[in-house]
Amino acid sequence: MSASSSKGTALITGASTGIGVVYADRLARRGYDLVLVARRQEKLAGVAAQLKETGRKIETLQADLTVKEDVQRVAERLSGDPAITALVNNAGVGSAGKLLDAKIDDLEAMIYLNVTALTRLTLAALPGFVARKNGLIINIASIVALAPELLNGTYSGSKAYVVNFTQALKNEVAAKGITVQAVLPGATATPFWDKAGLPVEHLPSEMVMTAEDMVDASLAGLDQGELITIPALPELASWERFEGARKELGPQLSLKVPARRYGVTA
C-alpha cells in the first residue's frame, strides 16, 4: 500500500532491527520517505527492500553512532537536507550487569550512543526545523528512566536524560512549530534483550509487548499530542499524578535556608 501525499523525510536511527524497523514501516505508510541509519548495512538494505512496496523513497546510511565522525556525518545530513521533517532517535543499547563487574569502556560507549549522539543529532536537526516551522522529533527513552532500582543505574540514567532533555526541548520549541515526544517502552520483544545478556523469554510474558504494538501505541500517543508516551501504562492519570508530585516539589527545592531537620540555622 502506498501513501499518497509526502510528509517529507524521516531519519530513523537504529533502523536495522527491532523498534526502529517498525517505526520505518509505520512512518513510510504515513507518507514519509526514509533515511535508515545503523551500523549493519546488510540489515538496513533488507529493511529497505522489505519496505519497497510502500512506494516511498528509502535510503540507507551506515554509521556507528558511538564514533564521533560518524555522528557528525549523520548530523550534517540532518542539518543540510531541507527535505528532512522528522528525526526518530531510536538507536540505543542497554547495560544489565552489576556496576562492580562493568567494563567502563562499554558503559562509556552506551552513554555516548544513548545520550551524546541523540543530543548531537537533535541539535543538528533543530535549526532547520525551526527555520521551516515544521519538524517532529521522537526520542526513544525507556520506563527504566522512572525505575533506577531495576538495573545498574547507567542505562536508566541515560534514558532519564532522554526524558529530561525532551521535556526541556518541548518548552523551548513547541511554540516554533516543532513537535517532540519521548517514548518510554517497557519490555519489548526485540534483539535488545539478547544483546544485554537477558533473553526476553525469561521475563513473564504479560510484561512483554510486541514492537508492533509498542510503536502503534506510541504513534497514537503522538497523534493525541502527548509529550510523554508510556505505551503500557493503563491510566494516564497515574503519570499525571507523578508529574504533579514532582512539580509540587519545585518551589521548595532551592531556598536560602537549609531545612530545619538539619539543625544548621536557629
Ligand X SMILES: NC(=O)c1ccc[n+]([C@@H]2O[C@H](COP(=O)([O-])OP(=O)(O)OC[C@H]3O[C@@H](n4cnc5c(N)ncnc54)[C@H](OP(=O)(O)O)[C@@H]3O)[C@@H](O)[C@H]2O)c1
Q: How far apart are CA 98 and CA 151, in angstroms?
A: 8
Do residues 126 and 132 touch, judged by C-beta distance below 8 A? no
**Which of 9, 10, 12, 14 touches ligand X by CB under 6 A?**
14
In this structure, are residues 236 and 243 in contact, taking their beta carbons and an 8 Å threshold? no
Residue 9 binding ligand X, by CB under 6 A: no
Q: Which of 11, 48, 65, 137 binds ligand X (CB under 6 A)?
A: 65
Q: Which is nearer to ligand X, 105 or 248 (CB)?
A: 105
Secondary structure class of 57 (helix, strand, coil):
coil
Which contiguous run of DSSP H or E holds residue 45? helix 41-50
Tell me how far, at minimum, the Cβ of 248 lies from ligand X, in Å: 28
Q: Helix, strand, coil: what percent of the chain each, to 5?
A: 50, 15, 35
Which of 23, 155, 161, 262 is flagged as catalytic? 155
- Taking the least distance from each CB to ligand X, the nearer of 54 and 190 is 190
Rounded to the nearest whole angstrom, what is the least distance from the CB of residue 42 to ligand X in the complex? Answer: 9
Report the nearest approach of ligand X to the CB of residue 156 (Å).
Answer: 10
User: By CB under 6 A, is residue 26 in contact with ligand X?
Assistant: no
Q: How far is the CB of 162 from ligand X (least distance, A)?
A: 8
In the chain, the N- to C-terminal Cα span, in Å, equals: 73
- The 119-148 contact track toward ligand X, x by CB under 6 A, reads ---------------------x-x------
Residue 17 in the binding site for ligand X (CB under 6 A)? yes
Closer CB to ligand X, 18 or 135, in the complex: 18
Nearer to ligand X, 47 or 84 (CB): 47
User: Are the beta carbons of 142 and 125 closer than 8 angstroms?
Assistant: no
> Any catalytic annotation for residue 155?
yes
Collapse the DSSP code of 243 into the 3-class scheme (helix H, G, I; strand E, B; otherwise coil) and give the result: helix
Burial of residue 9, with CB atoms counted within 10 A of its CB: 0-12 exposed, 13-18 middle, 19 or more buried: buried
Catalytic residues: 155
